[in-house]
Chain A
């Protein structure tokens, strides 16, 4: 199986967006018609990468199903093994306009201290992977928001096809 990784800083000009009180999608993995296939996320990591706010606060993280791409920067998906073909999954990062989310489509949520980071992992190949459907522009978005922390965040995801 081919393994890939993507993050919201893996682009020539990532254009990270500062967090705000509304969710901002940091990384979205979606299928594309030309290369339609499912993606199975087996690991993701999230954390803040700017100076913590002087007032201690929380960042709320979320992975939710999305049915559009929104407006963001094209992320680069890298192969874990260079012998594998390029990924058919599209990574869009650091959105300036939010994608459409599916009602009650949250797959994971966490409220953590602004100085905390989090990692989730299952065996590649499953069971337990988060699935990106093979439907054009439909996918999973890793989002973050905070009432007080106004810096940027880094998220990464590793998936197989």
Chain B
């Protein structure tokens, strides 16, 4: 049964054949993580219990909840602040 957190599909068209895998996008860092069939769940990342979303193995190691949306907001706010100072 397809899981709802598997949001994407990846297809590799190789000379030897076609390989497909489901993917999810880490909610913390926006990285694409491939989930091949019969993959070891321990190597796929984890589930952030704060934001209730799937995260990649690198974000699991941080132990923090830093949703990508918050990082985007910080980035954009910083840019708007610099612009208001005339720093472009």
Q: Does A128 lie within 8 Å of B76, measured CB to CB?
A: no
> In the complex, which residues of chain A have a beta carbon less than 8 angstroms from the beta carbon of B10?
118-120
For residue B84, CB closer than 8 A to chain A, the reply is no
The smallest C-beta distance from A75 to any residue of chain B, in angstroms, reads: 22
Checking B11, B32, B76 against A135 with a beta-carbon cut-off of 8 angstroms, the contacting residue is: B76
Interface of A is mostly: strand
Q: Does A120 lie within 8 Å of B32, measured CB to CB?
A: yes
For residue A161, CB closer than 8 A to chain B, the reply is no
For residue B75, CB closer than 8 A to chain A, the reply is yes
For A, the interface residue count at a CB cutoff of 8 angstroms equals 30
Flag B1-44 by CB within 8 Å of A: 1 or 0 each: 00000011111111100000001110001111000000000000
Complex: A129 Cα to B7 Cα, angstroms: 9
Q: Quick one: given A130-B25, A133-B72, are A108 and B14 in contact (CB under 8 Å)?
A: no
A106-156 with Cβ < 8 A to chain B? 106-108, 110, 112-113, 115-123, 126-131, 133-136, 138
Closest chain A residue to B77, Cβ basis: A135
> Can you name 24 A-B pairs with beta carbons within 8 Å?
A47-B13, A63-B32, A107-B29, A107-B31, A107-B32, A108-B31, A108-B32, A110-B12, A116-B12, A118-B11, A119-B13, A120-B9, A120-B10, A122-B7, A122-B8, A122-B9, A126-B7, A127-B7, A128-B7, A128-B24, A130-B25, A133-B76, A136-B83, A138-B79
Task: List chain B positions with a Cβ less than 8 A from chain A.
Answer: 7-15, 23-25, 29-32, 68, 72, 75-76, 79, 83, 88
